Amino acid sequence: MLVLGIDLSSDIGNVSLVQGQTVLGSVSVRMRHRPLLNCIQLIHDLFRLTDCKIDDLDLLSGVVGPGSWTGLRVTAVTLNTLSFTLQVPVVPVNLFDALAENTICRDMDVFAVVQATRTHAHVAQISKNGTRTATHADIEYITFAEIMNIVEKSANIVISASDHAIDKLRVFCGDQIRLTTVEHLPPTSIGAACVASGLYLAHPVKWSESFIRPEYLGSPVDGGAFEIKRGIGGKALENEK
């Protein structure tokens, strides 16, 4: 199965082609201006660098939140357009699931931190004592100053998917935490990696929608329902009954 994965959720935009568990190609760029043109250029460069053709795609995947508001919208527009044109299904990927899927937890508690605004972040525990934990229900929306109330001053690792979040964590947490950055995950496209791993394909009934609908790009509110908020990303298909 040939999967195109798009991740524009943070400062580094990435597009990858994954065949099974093999990354055939991956290109990245720092997302500064013209994110839509950057995404199109990345896709063009990716197919130019590989022997694949866009008509060979079996599946499209992309990170749909939490993360950069603009990046998430560009991802949704790009995937929906490609899906409509190529008649290929889309699988939206939650960033915290992707981070957990690509993280070697060892024997530690692991927390994922994704910047939401200049002052706030999405935080969720993705591993406890080396065991994978649920990532959907416990995403908290807090200030960077409050992160130490969740992450204990021990051998915990805080994983960040944003350069700005890394800087904020260093300011507020200092040396009190072990900080591991994963803005360049192996394989670099966490969206494609999740799909290739079978994380989402294990539940095909959830992907009855071919397109990513705008209401799926929301933010956790009081740990439950989702709403669209400028500057804040969200997760897809979790609020669908």
* Model pLDDT for residues 73-128, shown as the tens digit of each residue: 888 888 888 888 888 887 777 777 777 766 666 666 778 887 777 788 888 887 77
Q: Which pairs from 172-181 meet CB under 8 Å and 24+ separation? A: 172/144, 172/145, 172/147, 172/148, 173/147, 173/148, 176/148, 177/148, 177/151, 177/153
96-181 matches 2-94+185-227 in CATH topology? yes
Is cis: bond before 35, omega within 30 of 0?
A: no
Q: Which CATH code for domain 96-181?
A: 3.30.420
Q: Which CATH superfamily is 2-94+185-227 part of? A: ATPase, nucleotide binding domain (3.30.420.40)
Amino acid identity of residue 4, one-letter, is L
Inter-residue contact 191 to 61 (CB < 8 Å): yes
* Domain ranges for the chain: 2-94+185-227, 96-181
Inter-residue contact 74 to 35 (CB < 8 Å): yes
Which of 50-59, 65-74, 121-130, 208-217 holds the top average pLDDT?
A: 50-59
Q: How far is CA 116 from the centre of its chain?
A: 13
Amino acid identity of residue 211, one-letter, is F
Residue 47, pLDDT score: 92
Query: Please, what is the Cα angle at 180 between 29 and 139, to 5 degrees?
Result: 90
Q: Count the Cβ atoms, other than its own, within 10 Å of residue 37.
A: 10
CA distances from 37 to 26, 40, 71, 144 (A): 17, 5, 12, 32
